[in-house]
Amino acid sequence: MRDGTKGVCAPKGFVAGGIRCGIKKSSAKNDLALVKCEVPCRAAAVYTRNKVYGAPITVTRKNLENGTAQAIVCNSGNANTCNADGVMIAEKMCVLAGEALGIDPSDVIIGSTGVIGQPLPLEPIEWGIRSLAPKLTRDGAHEAQLAIMTTDIRPKETAVTFDLDGVTVTIGAMAKGSGMIRPNMATMLSFITTDCAISAPMLEKALKLTVDDTYNMVSVDGDTSTNDMVSVMASGLAGNAPIETEGPAFDAFVSGLTAVATRISRMIAADGEGATKLIEVAVTGAPDRQAARTVAKSVVMSSLVKAAMFGADANWGRILCAIGYADAEFDASQIEVLLSSPAGRIRVCLHGSGVPFSEEEAKKILLETEIRVEINMHQGTAFATAWGCDLTYDYVKINGDYRT
Amino acid sequence: MRDGTKGVCAPKGFVAGGIRCGIKKSSAKNDLALVKCEVPCRAAAVYTRNKVYGAPITVTRKNLENGTAQAIVCNSGNANTCNADGVMIAEKMCVLAGEALGIDPSDVIIGSTGVIGQPLPLEPIEWGIRSLAPKLTRDGAHEAQLAIMTTDIRPKETAVTFDLDGVTVTIGAMAKGSGMIRPNMATMLSFITTDCAISAPMLEKALKLTVDDTYNMVSVDGDTSTNDMVSVMASGLAGNAPIETEGPAFDAFVSGLTAVATRISRMIAADGEGATKLIEVAVTGAPDRQAARTVAKSVVMSSLVKAAMFGADANWGRILCAIGYADAEFDASQIEVLLSSPAGRIRVCLHGSGVPFSEEEAKKILLETEIRVEINMHQGTAFATAWGCDLTYDYVKINGDYRT
């Protein structure tokens, strides 16, 4: 598997672009993205489990019922959620995109991210779609990425290539992360593209297999957003023998998809609102997979663990506490905990009790920007990894007054 | 029902005191509390559901098996949790308290709060118990309260009196709150005393009826501690006809207990680590009681709602979002939300969608120190209230470097 950098335009057939149309009033940033494929794609998506969900979720779900899509339209600055006319506006956006791109409006994947509950004006979007549509290029992935950011500081895009029976297949992705990020179904906006030839049912199956160990293992603040979605479009232009059943080719595709999704997940965690550190919680020796996931997420979501990491304080008792209230069955008296980073690795807890360690060494380890909490439960062979970030003054600052 | 102010010493028969014995090294604050009743009491307690729990929980659970207790010993500065010798130390503390107070060591309720995973030295506690035991008085409740505080800023004690068939019955309480506070079983350290004559089984029943709508509806940071416990001791010295079955007298006692527990719960929420505001979330019109509780707790626990409250930002979309991811079955399209405080009351959402409101008026309402979020689900008659606080810079500061 090799790295690529052209994001959603890395696979064959995709063009993209971004523009500032004026939804974000006070900002000079892009706020509207378009991605188009030269051919209709097999497509699938997973959606937020929040019972309050945005109009774009309603419309995308309907548009993907037939497993086909050819374009993405996504705005930032307004979530188009909890608005009485939201679905009508979202459908209008698909019609506008369809007209401007010369495709069927029902083949459009639509996303919106930003403030909830403020009417989304159609005029700037109409102007934006019409201006942007003729300008989409093979180099436009980054401009599209910039247009879907809200409080994100760093863009999140990646791509991998791998061989499938002598044919080179590429998977690319971009994402919007930062706030309202919590592990439970698709937990952010992420658009994946690939040139792999694969049937719609197998594409959906691959996506579902991937999200539980990647996107769903990320937490920034424990809040599951109303608009989260991960979509994937497959153009088939790589020319591989179409994947229509499980087998080695399907497994290779899932591996590639997992690699892309893991990278995006780490990027989202590291760029959490106000974050100064990426926290990776790796659970091993768990009685079963679900327990491993639940324990890893419980630790990565703990406000007290997150604040201790910000302060580079090896307060491992908080880690044990968060393990203990995880909703899973296990024996807490077997647990071992280690802290590691590029600066070193120390054991802080064995058999559920503290062990002596050097506070100085611990401090050195925790002052790094990527911290790994290793939890060996010593009661099985299951494992899982979760990603999050520290809780900082800036998180409070960003969210104390987001709208103004 | 009338107010009282002598905390755990308000009911007949109880004496108390607090002392600085030296567990908190750098502080001049009390760190050891004793409470004693002149007669053996009926007693009951509810405990943390955390699978990692402190040695004091193990020992208190065993001591209360026979439904009898006569004293409380509680230290702050060290949680005596995740220590290999923890249970032995906790049992020793009961023996020391029993000797010094002239009671059976198995009639001691023991609590510890503070850092997890550091060995608890017995010497200062031994000295403290022996010095303090002869000095307990009817006026010592406040000194005892001060001794169980950790990062608490304000003491939490209250008492109520009410009539039971012409006899005056009193219930008093003190609590330790502040951090690692989350709704799920007894979520903090709270000691309740009463002079009511009531059997041990009815006392336990009354306590369990009370906690689900009071202590379990409080959240500061979503972390369920390892040491949380609410205990109640009943001396019977009020002289009422002993309560041995359900009926009007039992109901009156539960009302009194609920009043005390509600006040303590509000105090704990308002004094959450770093808090500048008490947030009360009142859900009505819910399809059932459990849904009402789940929705209220989901909103009060949302980091994004808490940060918005700190910033006095009427970002009600975050409230809808937190309602939506609550783990309960309901129709999100019926929901109405109002914000209120002593400065006013405004509707921000109706039928699940935004309604126009004055941002200026909303700001005025949210700048108060007690905010009420009123959620009418319009799909039933069940209701519940949860209490929490805002998320502030000081929460991060306090928890970024708690141990040093």
pLDDT in tens, A250-302: 999 999 999 999 988 888 888 877 888 999 999 999 999 999 999 999 999 88
pLDDT of residue A401: 64
B-chain residues near A53 (CB < 8 A):
324
Which of the residues B294, B318, B394 would you substitute to probe the A interface, choosing the one with the greatest number of A C-beta atoms within 10 Å?
B318
- How far is the C-alpha of A73 from the C-alpha of A65, rounded, in Å? 18
On the CB side of B165, how many CA atoms lie within 13 Å of its CA?
A: 13
- How far is the C-alpha of B35 from the C-alpha of B198, rounded, in Å? 20
Average pLDDT over residues A107-125: 91
Highest mean pLDDT among A111-115, B129-133, B295-299: B129-133
- How far is the C-alpha of A182 from the C-alpha of B380, rounded, in Å? 30
Q: At residue B170, what is the residue type?
A: T
Whether residue A220 has pLDDT greater than 70: no
Q: Is the interface score ipTM higher than 0.85?
A: no
Q: Which of B48, B60, B151, B187 is catalytic?
A: B187
- How far is the C-alpha of B24 from the C-alpha of B218, rounded, in Å? 27
B116 near B226, Cβ under 8 Å? Answer: yes
Highest mean pLDDT among B80-84, B110-114, B236-240: B236-240
* CA dihedral sign, ordered A247, A248, A249, A250: positive
Cβ of A313 within 8 Å of Cβ of B403? The answer is yes
Residue B187 appears among annotated catalytic residues: yes
Confidence band of A221 (pLDDT split at 50, 70, 90): low
Confidence band of A124 (pLDDT split at 50, 70, 90): very high
Average pLDDT over residues A370-376: 96
Structure tokens at B115: 């850092």
Whether residue B64 has pLDDT greater than 90: yes
Q: What SS3 class is residue B135? A: helix
Give the single-character DSSP code of A237: T
Q: What SS3 class is residue A265? A: helix
Whether residue B402 has pLDDT greater than 80: no
B147 near B21, Cβ under 8 Å? Answer: no
Answer with the residue of higher pLDDT: B178 or A96. Answer: A96
A-chain residues near B332 (CB < 8 A):
51-52
* CA dihedral sign, ordered B27, B115, B14, B5: positive
Structure tokens at A242: 């179409």
Average pLDDT over residues B314-341: 91
Cβ of A223 within 8 Å of Cβ of B302? The answer is yes
Cβ of A311 within 8 Å of Cβ of B399? The answer is yes
pLDDT of residue A1: 60
Whether residue A403 has pLDDT greater than 70: no
Q: What SS3 class is residue A61? A: helix
Q: Closest partner residue to B403 among A184, A315, A351, by Cβ?
A: A315
The full 3-state SS of A235-280, as one line of letters, equals CCCCCCCCECCCCHHHHHHHHHHHHHHHHHHHHHHHCCCCCCCEEE
- Judging by DSSP bridges, how do beta strands A14-19 and B336-341 pair with one another? unpaired
Whether residue B213 has pLDDT greater than 60: yes
The enclosing H or E element of B90 equals: helix B86-101
pLDDT of residue B185: 30
Average pLDDT in chain B: 89
Confidence band of A195 (pLDDT split at 50, 70, 90): very high
Q: Closest partner residue to A223 among B304, B351, B401, by Cβ?
A: B304
Contact partners, residue A154, CB within 8 Å, separation at least 6: A267, A270, A271
B-chain residues near A119 (CB < 8 A):
354
B-chain residues near A117 (CB < 8 A):
316-317, 320, 349, 353-354
Residue of A nearest to B86 (CA): A353
Average pLDDT over residues B356-376: 94
Contact partners, residue A65, CB within 8 Å, separation at least 6: none
Whether residue A16 has pLDDT greater than 80: yes
- How far is the C-alpha of B392 from the C-alpha of B308, rounded, in Å? 10
Whether residue A249 has pLDDT greater than 90: yes
Cβ of A320 within 8 Å of Cβ of B396? The answer is no
Cβ of A304 within 8 Å of Cβ of B223? The answer is yes
**Dihedral pair phi/psi, residue B205, rounded to 5°:** -60, -45
Give the single-character DSSP code of B220: S
- How far is the C-alpha of A57 from the C-alpha of A230, rounded, in Å? 11
Confidence band of B101 (pLDDT split at 50, 70, 90): very high
Chain B nearest-CA distance from A186, in A, is: 13
Q: Closest partner residue to A117 among B182, B225, B317, by Cβ?
A: B317
pLDDT of residue A54: 87
Average pLDDT over residues B245-252: 95
The total of other beta-carbon atoms located within 10 Å of residue A356's CB is 7
Residue that the structure tokens 């929980």 belong to: B57
C-alpha distance from residue B186 to each of B49, B194, B218 (Å) = 8, 19, 10
Least-confidence region, from A90-94, A316-320, B126-130? A316-320
Whether residue B241 has pLDDT greater than 90: yes
pLDDT of residue A217: 82
C-alpha distance from residue B60 to each of A209, B45, B109 (Å) = 46, 9, 5
Cα dihedral B67, B73, B77, B78, rounded to 10, equals -50
